[in-house]
């Protein structure tokens, strides 16, 4: 059993790479404790070796309820508490709304939405008993905007946003905080290993080609540093008044600001029609 240490206990899903891995490393470096979870725990066992008594590597596929229960039980058995939950596990799905299969849609929602929800449900009783905690839910700029050929992924992240908005209000009186993380383009494996692709049918081949080219050009340009993104998330947890939403990346910030401005203009343009329904 791990020896008690000062600092927070962080429970992170999807720590084998990207944001999850960077978060685990940076948190451990500063002396906090981490329950690092992954579908293949052998990919994160080195954290236990490097930080004995401080890191705990646990098997967790967020689509499996039994594994969620077991992971939370192991975390509490080792560290006695969970102060921060980072729901990071997730993956992308491409394909037009007409082309994607029901099976692909279900898989994406099972991980990105229901997995996140089930892990949250398992840890909320712990935080309520403590009367403290912070939940960070990984959304995306795609949780604020819609992009052609990733509509299902958009839908999962919009679901995360709505769920988190409501959750923040439900748990505020228990001393639990919620922050939605909205990254833009970062140097992670999201565009390669962490994405499932649907073959475009003939009517959608051209838009699929154009969007693929856009994403390829994004990859060729400057991208966010996931380690700096991890530090930004840690800063939000450390803040006395953390944000409900934290945008990561100048690209995401610009796109979301533009969307808000366009939405404001459209509201103004149609306000007479809106009001006349009363």
Q: How far is CA 250 from the centre of its chain?
A: 18
Selected catalytic residue, list 16, 96, 157, 177: 157
Residue 139 annotated to the active site? yes
Exposed, middle or buried, 273 (CB in 10 Å: 0-12/13-18/19+)? exposed
7: left (phi over 0), alpha (psi -120 to 50) or beta: left
Residue 67 CB coordination number (10 Å): 18
Helices (H) and strands (E) in the chain — how many of each? 10, 9
Whether the CB-CB separation of 23 and 86 falls below 8 Å is answered with: yes
Cα angle for residues 209, 213, 216 (degrees, 5° grid): 140
Residue 153 annotated to the active site? yes
**C-alpha distance from residue 127 to each of 32, 39, 41 (Å):** 17, 24, 25
HSE at residue 111, side-chain half, CA atoms within 13 A, is: 22
Selected catalytic residue, list 8, 51, 140, 153: 153
DSSP string, 161-189: HHHHHHHHHHHGGGTEEEEEEEE-SBSSS
Q: What is the CA radius of gyration of the chain?
A: 20
What does the alpha-carbon distance between residue 196 and residue 228 come to, in Å, rounded to a whole number?
26
Helix (H) or strand (E) holding 11, with range, is: strand 9-12
HSE at residue 241, side-chain half, CA atoms within 13 A, is: 0
Residue 157 annotated to the active site? yes
Selected catalytic residue, list 16, 96, 139, 140: 139
By annotation, the residues acting in catalysis are 139, 153, 157
């Amino acid at each position: 059993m791990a020896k008690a240490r000062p600092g927070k206990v962080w429970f992170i899903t999807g720590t084998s790479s990207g944001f999850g891995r960077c978060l685990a490393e940076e948190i451990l470096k500063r002396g906090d404790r981490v329950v690092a979870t992954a579908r293949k725990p052998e990919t994160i066992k080195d954290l236990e070796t490097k930080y004995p008594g401080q890191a705990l590597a646990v098997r967790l596929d967020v689509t499996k309820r039994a594994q969620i229960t077991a992971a939370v039980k192991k975390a509490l058995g080792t560290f006695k508490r969970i102060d921060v939950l980072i729901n990071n596990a997730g993956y992308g799905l491409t394909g037009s709304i007409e082309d994607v299969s029901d099976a692909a849609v279900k898989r994406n929602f099972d991980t990105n939405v229901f997995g996140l929800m089930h892990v949250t449900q398992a840890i909320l009783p712990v935080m309520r008993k403590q009367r403290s905690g912070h939940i960070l839910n990984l959304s995306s700029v795609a949780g604020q905007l819609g992009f052609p050929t990733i509509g299902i992924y958009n839908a999962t992240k919009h679901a995360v946003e709505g769920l988190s908005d409501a959750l923040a209000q439900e748990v505020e009186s228990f001393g639990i905080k919620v922050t939605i993380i909205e990254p833009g383009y970062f140097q992670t494996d999201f565009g390669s290993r962490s994405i499932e692709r649907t073959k475009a049918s003939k009517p959608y081949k051209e838009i699929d080609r154009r969007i693929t080219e856009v994403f390829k050009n994004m990859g060729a340009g400057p991208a966010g540093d996931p380690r700096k993104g991890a530090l930004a998330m840690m800063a939000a947890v450390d803040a006395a008044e953390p944000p409900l939403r934290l945008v990561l990346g100048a690209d995401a910030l610009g796109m979301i600001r533009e969307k808000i401005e366009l939405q404001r203009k459209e509201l103004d343009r149609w306000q007479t029609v809106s009001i006349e329904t009363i």
